[in-house]
Structure 1
């Protein structure tokens, strides 16, 4: 059930994921932060990490865990689990690739995208990626 101004929560959530992936692949730290809501939570490798405010999330940590020779990531699957007017849960799979076109790996995750102050952003992620 959509409310005024929120006609397509799933479409909005998918657009945020596209913007996130594009910024990540450009190495645009500010752009990645712009796709998040804060505090932003990531659960992976048995660790919960919370970035409290925009600018706290840095790409150096991502690059350290992305895999040797990482050049880009791609969405393989994005399947809605639940969608409401202000929150969308998505089961996703993404892949990481080297510059020579070889695959580093494919990873299953859950992304939670929320609408706050009329803006959609990624609030939390739970991933099987390192």
Structure 2
């Protein structure tokens, strides 16, 4: 784990979170574990500025609600092609980190996560923090982020950041 990775909830903390949300079925709990791994992969590939690897963490169609826009990508190639992170880097952004990740609903094939992330500069100073809702699904045997809604806004038309 690097200093840019947020630690996942501990087993005890996760058990309490799941119980408090009524996520008690074993298959729903397994889905939460799979979803947490997807979110770690999401942030790892995003911070690596690897648009193609980042696109593989999604399920398609992928939907992002941000600002007053709804953006839909039908496949990984379109997603990767529209995600040059230069505009975000131009703001001074160096990396992002999860502040918290909370599963709020789950079944065997879908998990809703309430979360918050912070963007940092090269001096590890926080730039902005945003709350969001991510939906992670199991689609054709692949766990991926299917949709996201955040208050981060839009830096470039059609971009996913």
For the criterion TM > 0.5, the same-fold answer is: yes
- Give the SS at the match of 2:55: helix
State the Cα deviation string for residues 14-59 of structure 1 (Å, max 9, x = none): 0000001000011111111000001100001011000111121232
Deviating beyond 6 angstroms after TM superposition, the runs of 4 or more aligned structure 1 residues are none
How far is the alpha carbon of 1:66 from its aligned partner? Answer: 6.6
How far is the alpha carbon of 1:65 from its aligned partner? Answer: 4.7
Which protein has the bigger helix share?
A: 2
Aligned-residue CA RMSD (Å): 1.7
- Give the SS at the match of 1:59: coil
The counterpart of 1:44, out of the listed 66, 69, 74, is 66
Counting only pairs closer than 5 Å after superposition, residues 23-34 of structure 1 correspond to structure 2 as 23-34=45-56
| TM-score, structure 1 normalization | 0.90
Quick check: which has more Rg, 1 or 2? Answer: 2
Aligned mates of 1:7, 1:15 — CA distance in 2: 13
State the Cα deviation string for residues 47-96 of structure 1 (Å, max 9, x = none): 10001111212322x54257711100000010111010000000010000
- Give the SS at the match of 2:78: coil
Q: Does 1:19 align with 2:41?
A: yes
Q: Does 1:102 align with 2:125?
A: yes
Structure 2 unaligned residues grouped into runs of 5+:
1-24, 154-161
Which protein has the bigger strand share?
A: 1
The counterpart of 1:112, out of the listed 135, 149, 152, is 135
Tell me how many residue pairs correspond in the alignment: 127
Structure 1 unaligned residues grouped into runs of 5+:
none
